[in-house]
Structure 1
Amino acid sequence: MTVHDLTDEDVLFRWLPFRTLTGAEPGALPLYCLPHAGGAASAFRMWQRKLPGVAVQPVQPPGREGRHREPPYLHMTELVPDLADVVLADVEESAAGRRYALYGHSLGALVAFELVREIRRRGGPEPVHLFVSGADAPHVTDEPGPPVSGMTRAEVAALLRRLGGTPEWLLADPEALQMILPAVQADFIVKETYRYEQEAPLDVPISALPSDSDPRVASAKVARWRDQTASVFALHPFDGGHFAVFEQAERTHRLVAQALAPWV
């Protein structure tokens, strides 16, 4: 079975494992949430039921949690078309009238951006809003330091510890670390091999939520997300590190809810 066989509901549930557990009222606006490198759908699980009129849909890439036996993607050009199939199929089934929004954190921000461009190329319905956090703008992004794909297990653990967001017990346990390592390194390969291609700016509002002490993201490069939209751009800085939007979830929810208010 592949993601192209979308007559089978199991495919959608693999990608959207909390699809029927949003706690949102019928007709709520879907918000598809894409996780960071090595992250999983559970990163956004606690966002459900926090945004009135919005059905938070955490996305589960292969290679982690309930999909840990599936090989993870290694290239953006393979991941994005398959993800577009899933999102478009789910949007068509939604009672929200082909309206939806996207949120991506870190690698997920770049995936969300490329997802919108893929959907635009197909002539599909574009999102009413794109939220990005923990990521430089795609046309000025780079990956500082040595490639994560070539790091030792100890070096990956040190990187994750510096970024925060990963429990210390997991980083200190060699067996547990080994379980998440394939997804982490595969996702960083996706990021490290990503090549931005010039296209027209999106006709989609973009909100960027940077953090002032993020060790892998530059504030000036986050502001360049404004170059990628012909619509409204908003910048909402956070105090904190790479995962500040999760650590300050109440503020994040408030900003997202305000931006989506015209659509819910």
Structure 2
Amino acid sequence: MSVVAVEPAAADPVACLPFGVPEGETVLYCLPHAGGSASVYRSWAGRLGGIAVAPIQLPGRETRMRETPYTRMAPLVDELADAILERQRTRGAYAVYGHSLGALVGFELVREIRRRAGLAPVHLIVSGCSAPDLLEGNDGQPPVSEMSDEEVVGLLRRLGGTPEPILADRSVRRLILPPFRGDLTVRDTYGYQPEPRLGVPVTAIAATADPRASVAQMRGWGRQTSRGFRMHLLSGGHFAVLEHAEATRAFIRGAVEG
């Protein structure tokens, strides 16, 4: 008997924004890496000057633990576009930031908002992800949907960013593997489709030793905008933006405030 993956129904927009959105400021919607949660960015609140940090919570983690994670890009960005356009209907400017898978989701989110003729962000900031037109298949790996739990854990060890005590604890692994599987399947099944360049400035933050996104691959984001591109460099690997959070926030603030 075949098993068909069923995507979750669109959630209440408030569910995507567990910490709320302050009034009267430019809002920065922050999308996490694969398996990541909104709390990754919570410490940034109040540390970006006049920019209000709004971490996005995806299904299957923390406050949305009981929800089924997405496994495809289209329904994921549909939900996020619904939430952001609803929240921004009576608000001012906003920007979008995403790291790793979050960068790819952010890019497709901005394209979906454009398709709906919605209010565009003032800036898109990306890190830890090759330009979308350079992404290729599964990076030579079998699809995550075909991997055993042990194989997924091995993949997470290679990717880094997940503490070993968490990966070694089977009870904790039962909680974290579903969102990882969902997010990595979103990446596995993603296929870039050419569209006109975004009419939104793009800033890329690259790491000098990121095995997932080289400096040259990050530079390719410049092809996705007609409104100006800038790239910054950080020393370190795939999670350099979190390890050098102060510098990352300075780059983001400079981009959004122009």
TM-score > 0.5 by shorter chain: yes
Question: Could you give the per-residue CA deviations for residues 206-246 of structure 1, whole angstroms, max 9, x where no partner exists?
Answer: 01111122222232221110000001101112111111101
Q: Which residue of 1 aligns with 2:59?
A: 62
TM-score by length of 1: 0.90
Name the residue aligned to 1:31.
28
1:39 partner amino acid: G
> Which 4+ stretches in 1 moved above 6 angstroms?
none
- The CA deviation string for residues 244-263 of structure 1, in whole angstroms up to 9 with x for no partner, is 1011000001111111224x
Distance of 2:178 and 2:10 partners within structure 1: 21
Aligned with residue 218 of structure 2, among 209, 216, 222: 222
5+ unaligned residues in a row in structure 1: which ranges? 5-10
Q: What fraction of aligned residue pairs are identical, expressed as a percent?
A: 50
The residue that corresponds to 1:210 in the other structure is: 206
- Aligned counterpart, 2:83: 86
Does residue 144 of structure 1 match 2:130? no
**Structure 2 counterpart of 1:162:** 158
Whole-Å separation in 1 of the counterparts to 2:146 and 2:207: 27
Match of 1:17 in 2: 18
CA deviation vs aligned residue, 1:84-134 (integer Å, no higher than 9, x gap): 00010011132xx2x100001111111100111111111111110000001
Preserved contact between residue 13 and residue 82 of structure 2 (Cα < 8 Å): no
The residue matched to 1:213 in structure 2 has which SS? Answer: coil
- Residue 199 (str. 1) matches residue 195 (str. 2): yes
| d(CA) in 1 for partners of 2:45, 2:145 | 33
Q: Which amino acid aligns with 2:152?
A: V
Number of the residue aligned with 2:101: 107
Letter in 2 for 1:145: G
Aligned length: 249
Pairwise CA distance, 1:155:
2.5
Q: Which amino acid aligns with 1:259?
A: A
In the superposition, the TM-score normalised over structure 2's length comes to 0.92
2:3 is matched with none
1:158 to partner: Cα distance: 2.5
- 2:245 aligned with 1:244, yes or no? no
Once residues 164 and 193 of structure 1 are traced to their aligned partners in structure 2, the CA distance between those partners, rounded to angstroms, is 22
Deviation at 1:2, TM superposition (A): 5.4
